[in-house]
Amino acid sequence: MRILVTGGAGFIGSHFVRHLAAAGEDVVVLDKLTYSGNPANLEGVAHEFHAGDIADPDAVARAGKGAEAIVNFAAETHVDRSILAAGEFITTDVMGTHVLLEWARESGARFVHVSTDEVYGDLPPGVSSREDDPLRPSSPYAASKAGGDLQVLAYVRTYGVNASITRGSNTYGTHQYPEKMIPLFVTNALEGEPLPVYGDGRQTRDWLHAEDHCAGIETVLREGAPGEVYNVGGGEELENLEVTRRILELTGADPGLVRHVDDRPGHDRRYSLDSSKLAGLGWKPTRGFEEGLAETVAWYRDRRDWWEPIKSGEYRAYYAEQYEARLKST
């Protein structure tokens, strides 16, 4: 099958491209190569590459020519950046999704839209989100993703587009840009830099390995029904402080590097997904967090050549804006 993977040079997208290429699929990537897109993520992986923006109909038509399916990973993805400036999130996650839907409508291609558990918002202890729960996004990022999801559902109902949505939980693994918690803390620990824990660090996330996430998305691409949403949750809920403790243990870093800093505005305390609907299609996560985190830390330890160049230039400016004042006040 010829499959267009948008955002295929990013973290999860590049795992997915590797996954499809290994299965012998004909993969086309469309990626704008923003700060988080990295051609090095696709080195040695068979694919056709197009540099371009999903919000540009001509770029989508060019890259999409002949594709029978599209899987959309392209997005602005970091909550903290959305709090600093939300404009790009609306352009890509809302407008870009609209352009892709128009293309799917015209071409008749199958469309899988990769979304997030963050659209459900904050959860009290003891409950897990199900696919038909209301959307209560807290951050500009989550709101822009919810906007994309609602358009997808409207295009299925109104135009009969053959689209499904996946909502994955917090994902970790190799090749993740070092701004989200796990790669940021691992690379900081390896460099002897502070680990900035927001607030009390008792927030919980439902951790999912990138390979398990990709297997879930592939299941939905092949078996999912139009108009249906599928949660893809790792099922391993941990407090941020516990994840931090394990990173210190695996890197051998000094526990004195942990710094409690001012909390993220609007910070969701807890996410948790009920993934029984996707389990009904035969999917289940196969990597435990303990094993997956150890493998991830080992990769970052070995691949300084991948992350050290990233942690310069634009990254330093973002890091200073996000953390300098916070770290000074602790």
Q: Are 68 and 3 in contact (CB under 8 A)?
A: yes
Number of residues forming the site for ligand TYD (CB under 6 A): 14
Two tokens, residue 82: 């959305």
Active site residue 117: yes
φ/ψ bin of 266: left (φ > 0), alpha (ψ from -120 to 50), beta (otherwise)? left
Task: Give the residues lining the site for ligand NAD (CB under 6 A).
Answer: 6-7, 9-13, 30-34, 36-37, 53-55, 73-77, 92, 96, 114, 116, 145, 168, 170-171, 177
Nearest Cα to Cα of residue 187 among 73, 312, 37: 312
Q: Binds 77, which of ligand NAD, ligand TYD, none (CB < 5 to 8 A, cut-off by type)?
A: ligand NAD
- Work out which of 57, 86, 133, 198 binds ligand TYD, going by CB under 6 A: 198
159-170 core/surface letters (b: 16 or more CB in 10 A; e: else): eebbbbbbbbbb
- Nearest one of 154, 40, 146, 32 to 104, comparing CA atoms: 154
Q: Give SS3 for 125.
A: coil
Closest CB 79 distance from ligand NAD, rounded Å: 10
Q: Which among ligand NAD, ligand TYD, none contacts residue 221 (Cβ within 5 to 8 A by kind)?
A: none
Distance in angstroms (rounded) separating the CA atoms of residues 58 and 100: 11
Q: Judge whether 214 and 251 are in contact, CB under 8 Å.
A: no
Residue indicated by tokens 């402080």: 241
79 binds, among ligand TYD, ligand NAD, none (CB under 5 to 8 A by kind): ligand TYD
Told to check if 180 binds ligand TYD by CB under 6 A, we report yes
Judge whether 141 counts as a catalytic residue.
Answer: yes
Q: Does 234 bind ligand TYD (CB under 6 A)?
A: no
Cβ at position 274, least distance to ligand NAD in Å: 16
258 binds ligand TYD (CB under 6 A): no
| Contact between 32 and 60 (Cβ < 8 Å) | no
Q: Which of 53, 93, 120, 141 is catalytic?
A: 141
CB of 78 to ligand NAD, least distance (A): 7
Report the C-alpha gap between 216 and 218 in whole angstroms.
5
- Give the residue among 166, 146, 307, 300 at the shortest CA–CA distance from 230: 166
CA distance 189 to 170: 20
Distances (CA, A) of 232 to 9, 212, 274, 317: 21, 9, 8, 34
**Does 273 sit near ligand TYD (CB under 6 A)?**
no
> Of 196, 216, 224, 233, which lies in the binding site for ligand TYD, with binding defined by CB under 6 A?
196
Question: Which of these is catalytic: 31, 53, 118, 237?
Answer: 118
Q: Which stretch binds ligand TYD (CB under 6 A): 42-50, 91-99, 124-132, 193-201?
A: 193-201
- Quick one: tokens of 128? 């897990």
Task: Provide the pairing of β-strand 163-168 with 171-172.
Answer: unpaired
Convert residues 71-110 into a mask of x (bound to ligand TYD by CB under 6 A) and - (unbound): --------xx------------------------------
Which partner from the list ligand NAD, ligand TYD, none does 51 bind, CB cut-off 5 to 8 Å by kind? Answer: none
Q: How far is the CB of 10 from ligand NAD (least distance, A)?
A: 2
Q: How far is the CB of 248 from ligand NAD (least distance, A)?
A: 21
3-state secondary structure at position 312: coil
For ligand TYD, the binding residues (CB under 6 A) are 79-80, 118, 170, 180-181, 184, 196-198, 203, 205, 240, 264
Could you list the active site residues?
117-118, 141
